[in-house]
Amino acid sequence: MDEQDNHYLELNIQNREVKYIIRTKILKWFEEKVKRYMFIKIKINISNQFINVFF
């Protein structure tokens, strides 16, 4: 845990096949979810800015 109470984990994966699956499939899935989430937040913020301009 760091000064801002963030938790960090480190994986030590011995099996190469499992390591490959985690690196390719799970991390890719996670990155896509993060990108989608960020896009939605950006879209909402842009929409809110337009609403503030007109009202």
**15, two tokens:** 């099996």
Euclidean distance between the first and the last CA atom of the chain, given in angstroms as a whole number: 44
Q: Where are the domains positioned within the chain?
A: 14-55
Q: Are 11 and 22 in contact (CB under 8 A)?
A: yes
pLDDT given for residue 19 in this prediction = 86
**Which one-letter DSSP state was computed for residue 49?**
H
Global model pTM greater than 0.95: no
Rg, Å, the chain Cα set: 18
The backbone region for 31, taken as left when phi is positive above 0, alpha when psi lies in -120 to 50, beta otherwise, is alpha
* Distance between CA atoms of residues 12 and 18, nearest Å: 11
Which mean pLDDT values do the consecutive 10-residue runs of the chain (55 residues) have? 76 86 86 86 76 54
